[in-house]
Amino acid sequence: MQLFISVITLSLMITPLVVLHELGHYLTAKYYGVRVLEFGIGFPPKFFSIWTTYKEFTLENNIDISNLNRNEIIYIKLDTNSTVTSFSKTRNIDDISSYIPVKLIEILNNKIGVKTMLWSLNIIPFGGFVKLFGEESNKSKDSLSQASKFGRFIIIFSGAFINFLLPFIMIFSVNIFITEKDISDVVIQGVMEDSPAYNSGLRSGDKVISINNVDVHSISDLQNITTKNLGDKSNWRISRGIPKVFMGPGEKSNYDYSDDNFLSVMIESRWDPPIHKIGEDITLNQARLYDQYSGTITYFEVSDTVKEGYIPLSQAIIYNEDVKIGEQIPIVFDESEEGIPLDLARKIDNRSGIRDTIQEGSVGILVNSNNSRKYKEDLSDNISNATRSAFDIYHLSYLSIIGIINRSSNPIFDGPRAIGPIGLGKISGDVATSSILISERILILFTLASSISLSLAVINLLPFPALDGGRLAFLFIEILRRGKKVPERVESYIHGLGFIILILLIFYISFRDISRL
């Protein structure tokens, strides 16, 4: 059931993004007079199709149409006056790229009435496509290859441009309709010594009010704002926590806050915060204040005797029946993974943990949220916050790319560098079936879809064969060569090779996805 939900959720996210991408190609092609042969949703085999756009074409005098039947698919070749010069009932002809597939509707005296545009709904539900006439070299006036260089640039570029615009529309739209927000107080639980936060005077119990005059209402707000300011100093407005002497019944906070006890400090967000080795750079007790799953031991070595830091063979075979003396058994989070679950490992040795290092965050603080509540925004705040959230998706995506290029150690960039269809399906399925509020699930899925759309825009514009960017590269080569195109066969081979490489890359990333499940 979970697999089915993941497939459906991913399809509902991916397919509209790709279809709108192809719609960009379709609309601009129509604008520049390029004939569109087919617009498909999903990928073949076909489930349903319909022909539209009726046209009549004059036949050359010497064409014999006696063997043609109504409602059959034929391939016609037109001259510059849109006169049919030849036709074929099959694709088995040498110059097939010069022929247009049509559905024959009626046969007139010296004309034929046909439908020229095919709309298809296909069985494989991920994505879509548009077929333009004359993508290869073609002298017909309504072919892509005969469009102006500027027209071809717009047609090729338009798909990625649509994907670039979609995130703003999606994030703004979903935020503008969520007027009642879940908010909370973001309270500092711990501060790493010698970190930017510590050196600026932040301490445990301080409540983060705003950063650069933007209110902080959740841990997510804090992460987004600090990420947007990586490498720069930002102005933090803090409410200083006053430790309580006595805790009243039902009270959850150990601190009181006063309306006149505020502090403004400048804190720099780091691209590369340090990593601390537990037991060397930081004590185990200090480490577990920041990460309860940390420890100085992340595996046990199998031994034939009972001794500290080892596990006897008689006990090790419970977790791995093939293990041998001298081999290692990792400490894992739970029983679903191969190894010793953390709770059982700590009964053997309390120093056990999943990680033996502590990775500081951008400013070096550990936070939690208190006093969760509902907040209804007024119209002006709602529009302002929706607009800011929409622009944030671009800024954060840009920073993610920079972080990957620079190999930043910032934990905000943790996780696999590449996720394929299987990984995306699992993520979307997990969100769709989670127990959080429907509005929050919708917001997360729209944010994920926005990130995918931006990725499609960027990846499609890379100068790689078979991608839009590869076709733009050939267009620029043509411009530099003063109108002389790369030979059709050479370009076709290059795009074909690029397509094969892309398919292999998708299989590789999907295999990595499976290994992470």
Query: Are 128 and 54 in the same domain?
Result: yes
Same domain, 300 and 352: yes
If you average pLDDT over residues 150-164, what whole number do you get? 95
Which pLDDT score, from 0 to 100, does residue 335 have?
A: 74
| Residue corresponding to tokens 């290059």 | 494
433 lies in the same domain as 494: yes
Sorting pLDDT into bands at 50, 70 and 90, what band is 226?
confident
pLDDT value of position 434: 62
151-175 mean pLDDT: 93
Structural domain contains residue 156: yes
For residue 423, the model assigns a pLDDT of 56
pLDDT single digits (tens) 379-393: 888 888 889 888 888
Question: Does the residue 366 lie in any domain?
Answer: no
Residue 97 lies in a domain: yes
Does 42 share its domain with 25?
A: no
Which pLDDT score is estimated for 144?
A: 87
Q: Is residue 488 included in any domain, yes or no?
A: yes
Kindly report which listed range (212-221, 365-374, 428-437, 452-461) carries the lowest average pLDDT score.
Answer: 428-437
Asked if residue 422 has pLDDT above 70, the reply is no
pLDDT at site 420: 53
Please provide the average confidence, as pLDDT, over all residues in the chain: 83
Same domain, 307 and 170: no
Average pLDDT on 339-357 reads 86
Residue 356 makes CB contacts below 8 A (sequence gap 6+) with 277, 278, 279, 294, 295, 296, 297, 298
Of 144, 161, 188, the residue that ends a domain is 144
Query: Could you tell me the pLDDT band of residue 130, with boundaries at 50, 70 and 90?
Result: very high
pLDDT tens string 45-64: 999 999 999 999 999 888 88
The whole-number average pLDDT for the span 311-324 is 80
Strands annotated E in 297-377: 299-303, 310-312, 328-332, 340-341, 357-359, 365-376
Question: What local confidence, expressed as pLDDT, does residue 26 receive?
Answer: 96
Which class for 59: exposed (0-12), middle (13-18), buried (19 or more C-beta within 10 A)?
buried
The predicted model gives 494-506 an average pLDDT of 80
Residues of the chain with pLDDT > 90: what percent? 21
Give yes or no for residue 122 having a pLDDT over 90: yes
pLDDT of residue 425: 55
> Which of the two residues, 390 and 291, has the higher pLDDT score?
390
CA atoms within 13 A on the CB side of 123: 4
What's the pLDDT score for residue 137?
A: 62
Q: Are residues 26 and 57 in the same domain?
A: no
Phi-psi region of 78 (alpha: psi -120 to 50; beta: other; left: phi over 0): beta
Residue 208 domain flag: no
Residue 40 confidence (pLDDT)? 94
Mean pLDDT value across residues 348-372: 85
pLDDT at 220 over 80: yes
Are 12 and 67 contained in the same domain? no
- For residue 129, the model assigns a pLDDT of 92
Q: Residue 128: inside a domain, yes or no?
A: yes
In a domain, 4, yes or no: yes
Domain span including residue 324: 275-359
Checking if the pLDDT of 416 tops 50, the result is no
pLDDT at 417 > cutoff 50 = no
> Per mean pLDDT, which range of 31-35, 363-367, 416-420, 422-426 is the poorest?
416-420
**Which residues have a Cβ under 8 Å from the Cβ of 393 and sit 6 or more positions away?**
167, 168, 171, 447, 450, 451, 454
Looking up tokens 């500290």, which residue turns up? 308
Mean pLDDT of the 460-467 span: 88
317 and 287 in a common domain: yes
Asked if residue 131 is part of any domain, the answer here is: yes
CA angle 346, 352, 354 (to 5 degrees): 120
Q: Which one of 144, 171, 189 terminates a domain?
A: 144
Lowest-pLDDT range, 1-10, 327-336, 372-381, 473-482?
Answer: 1-10
Check pLDDT > 80 for residue 466: yes
Mean pLDDT of 385-411: 76
Most confident of 137-141, 256-260, 391-395, 421-425: 391-395
CA 259 to CA 428: how far, in whole Å? Answer: 42
Q: Are 62 and 140 contained in the same domain?
A: yes
Task: Evaluate if residue 309 carries a pLDDT over 80.
Answer: no
pLDDT at 515 over 60: no
Residue 70 pLDDT exceeds 80: yes
Half-sphere exposure at residue 496, Cβ-oriented, CA atoms within 13 angstroms: 7
Q: What is the mean pLDDT of residues 425-443?
A: 64
- Out of 1-10, 37-46, 248-257, 469-478, which region has the weakest mean confidence (pLDDT)? 248-257
The answer on pLDDT for 180 being more than 50 is: yes
The C-alpha atoms of residue 273 and residue 226 are separated, in whole angstroms, by 13
Average pLDDT score over residue span 464-493: 85
Instruction: Kindly state whether residues 15 and 42 are assigned to the same domain.
Output: no
Same domain, 10 and 152: yes
Provide the number of structural domains found in the chain: 3
What is the distance between the alpha carbons of residues 308 and 128, in angstroms, rounded to a whole number?
60
Domain end residue (candidates: 359, 382, 400): 359
**Residue 177's pLDDT band (boundaries 50, 70, 90)?**
confident
The answer to whether 154 touches 28, Cβ cutoff 8 Å, is: yes
Indicate whether 27 and 151 sit together in one domain. Answer: yes
